[in-house]
Amino acid sequence: MRYDYDLFTIGGGSGGVRASRVSATMGARVAIAESDRFGGTCVNVGCIPKKLFSYAAHFRENFEVAKSFGWTTGEPRFDWPTLVANKDREIARLNGIYEKVLRDAGVEIHRGRATVRDAHTVELGGRTFTAKHILVATGAWPQVPAIVGREHAITSNEAFFLERLPRRALLVGGGYIAVEFASIFNGLGVDTTLAYRGTHLLRGFDAELGAHLAAEMVRKGVKVRLQTNPIRVHSDHTVDFANGTSGQYDLVMFATGRKPNTASLGLEQAGVELAEDGAVVVDAYSKSSVGSIWAIGDVTNRINLTPVATAEGMWLAKTLFGNEPTPVDHENVATAVFADPNVATVGLSEETARERFGAVDVYKSSFRALKHTLGDRQEKTFMKLVVDQASQRVVGAHMVGRDAGEVIQGIAIAVKLGATKAQFDATIGIHPTAAEEFVTMRTKAS
C-alpha cells in the first residue's frame, strides 16, 4: 500500500521534532502536526524559561555576595515585566528555529490538533492522512488535585506569563517544579511558602538531597511546610490545610504532577493500550500495542526529561529508517533540579543501591564554598558517592550546590562508563573548585 507519509508525528515538542527531523534526513517522507508553538513544554513553559527565571532569581544573592569582594553598587531594583518580555522574545526565537530545522529537513508541517483514526490514519482539520508509522509525542500537562477552589490556583504553565509578581506566594508540591519555582519567587523577593504533604522534598531522589535542599531553602528565606496538604482554596487566595491551619497569599501555584496528554486522541479506539494514568504503554523500542503506532517522551511517562525525549526520538528514527533497531537506554540518566541551590544526580540513590546490591559504600562531603568565605553566607555544598561494595563501581553521584548540573554532567560520563571508586581517586582534581571534591573523598560514611 502507498501511504501519504512514512511517518506522521503528532506533537512538535523536543522528542517529536527530533524524531521527525532525523527520519526525514534518512530519506523518510515525514509530516508533523502541532496545534501550538513548536518546542513543546521545554521551550515554551519548561526548561528554557524556567532556567532564565532561575538566573534572574540568583542575582539578588550575587549582588549581596559582591559586597564582600569590595564591590559597591546602588540599591538593586528588579522589574518583572522586563524579564517576561525578554524571555518571550527568546522563546519566540527558539520557536522559529525549531520550525526552520523541520522545514530544512523536508518535514511537512501541519497546523492543528491531529487525532488517530486507526493504525495508519490520522485526522486533522477535517482531512485524513495515511502513514506507514504514526508517532505520538504529545507530552504531558500539569495536574491540579480535585479540591474545592482549585480554579483560583495556577500551574507552572501560567507562572511564566504573570502580569505582575505577587507579594506572597504559596507553592504546593515537593517535586522539582515546586522547589524550582519556590526558589525563583523567593529569589525575586516574594514572600514564599512551600507546602508539601510528604515528609521530605524530591521524592524519588536520594533522601539526603531533599533534606539538604530543604535546609538550604529555609536558610535562604523560603518557608518550607512539610506534611502540610491544602484542602481548599478561597477566592481571596486564603488556603485551608488539612492540619487545621490556614494562610492567605496573593498567588497559589500547584506543582503536583503532570499527566500524559492522551485524552481524546483516538488511541484507545485504535487499539492502543494506555496505562492507568493515560500513558501510552510501549516496549523497549517505543512501540505501542499497535505495531504501526509509536510513542516517545512524556506521553509514555518513562523518564520525563527533554534530553531523554530527544534521545528516544533519535533511537526511534534509527529503528524505523536507519536499518538499526535501537532500544531505549534509560540507565544512568543524569538530571538537575534548578532550585537554589541546584541539585543534580546521576545513577542510583543510596536507598535503591542498597536494595539492588545489598552492601554499599557511601562517601559524603559537606562544605562552605570558597565564594562564600569572605562574607557571612553559610550555604553548604553537599556531595555524595554511592559505591557497590562488591565491584567498587560508582553507581550513584549526587550534589546540592551552585552549578551542580554543570558538575554532574561530567561525572555522569564516568558513571555511565562504569568507573570504580579507585579510578575516581586516581583522578587529580582541579583546585580550587567544588567539583574536585568528587575525586578527593576518601573516608566512608558507612
C-alpha distances out from residue 179 to 175, 203, 221, 343, 379, Å: 6, 12, 13, 10, 17
Between CA 368 and CA 382 the distance in angstroms is 9
- Please pick, among 110, 133, 152, 431, the residue that the annotation labels catalytic: 431
C-alpha cell at 254: 500547584
Contact (CB, 8 A) for 214 and 199: no
C-alpha cell belonging to residue 2: 502507498
DSSP H/E element including 415: helix 404-416
In sequence order, what DSSP letters do the residues of 153-183 get, joined into one string? -B-HHHHTT-SS--SEEEEE-SSHHHHHHHH
Helix and strand counts by DSSP (H, E) for the chain: 11, 21
Question: Locate cell 566512608: which residue?
Answer: 444
Q: 382: burial class by Cβ within 10 Å (0-12, 13-18, 19+)?
A: buried
Angstrom CA distances, 22 to 7, 42, 97, 274, 323, stand at 11, 19, 15, 27, 13
Question: Of 402, 401, 398, which Cα lies nearest the Cα of 415?
Answer: 398
Main-chain dihedrals φ then ψ at residue 169, nearest 5 degrees: -130, 140
Q: Is 372 a catalytic residue?
A: no
Q: DSSP for 98-121?
A: HHHHHHHHTPEEEES--EEEETTE
Q: Are 285 and 314 in contact (CB under 8 A)?
A: no
- Catalytic sites, residue numbers: 431
